[in-house]
Structure formats: structure tokens, C-alpha cells
Amino acid sequence: MRTKAENFVTLDFPSRSSNEGFARTAAACFAAQLDPTLEELNDVKTAVSEAVTNAIVHAYPDTIGKISMKLRLHPDNSLEIVIRDWGVGIADVEQARTPMFTTGGEERAGMGFTIMESFMDTLRLRSVPGKGTTVTMRRKISRRPGAR
């Protein structure tokens, strides 16, 4: 469903592991406009952390590349998060979404997409080998009594 965003921001940053924390904090600060509960905020932060970490580890395994994070607030009180990279891409998207599958070696659990799906309402994944991956997640934030 495409709806016009009420507010949005785009952040571009290099695929350095130190930027994962920045991305999750930036997403949480932006989402705060919707007055989420602490649980909702932690869910958003965890999903962003997984998406950005995937881009850092898998999209650019031997180099530093660009990651873009777009955040949009929609009139239905939902937050849309788009994480994009221009890295190696995913050859088999369905296999990559399978729990416990990883291309990152034995130190990786292979649960990134499963975690993102469990904390967000929707998750879309587009990838083209050699051209990159785009993860689009959306989460509706409950309106609390007395909120705007």
C-alpha cells in the first residue's frame, strides 16, 4: 500500500560496523514522533540493526560500500524503513530468508530476516546479484490514549 508520507528522512553512510549503532539510534529518534511504547521502539531498533548488519556483513564482505536508510512516517501512524545497498546482492532470496541460513561463516546465526519479520508488520526484500539489495519494512505504531 502506497500512502503519502507525512515526514521523511534519508541517511547515507559507509558500511562500517560502527554505523550500525548510529542507524538504529537515528531510526528510534525519528520513530519517536509517533509516540511508540518502549517495546515498539526496541522492536524497530532491533529490525534496523539486523537489516544494516546484513548490508555491512553480506553486501560488502571485502570492501566498504554505501548504505542508504530511508525513514517515512505515514498518516496511519506507521513507520516505513527502507535499507538499501549496492553490494553483491542475494542469489536466492527464498533461501536467504530461511532461518539458520547464512553466507557469513559460522559466527553468524542466519536469523536476520526471521528477526526482522518477527518485529515488523511487513517485510519486502528485493535483490539483484551484483547490483544490491533493498529491504523495506513497515510497522504500525499503536495510538496511545490521549495521544495526538
Domains of the chain, earliest start first: 10-140 (3.30.565.10)
pTM, two decimals, is 0.84
SS3 36: coil
User: Residue 99 has what pLDDT?
Assistant: 54
DSSP H helices, the chain, are 18-31, 38-54, 93-96, 112-119
* Residue 104 confidence class, pLDDT cut points 50, 70, 90: low
User: Residue 115 has what pLDDT?
Assistant: 82
- Interior angle at CA 94, CA 101 and CA 114, nearest 5: 55
Whether residue 105 has pLDDT greater than 60: no
Lowest mean pLDDT among 22-36, 52-66, 91-105, 116-130: 91-105
Provide the mean pLDDT of the chain.
Answer: 87
Cα(99)–Cα(72) distance, rounded to whole angstroms? 28
* Active site (catalytic) residues: 50, 54, 108
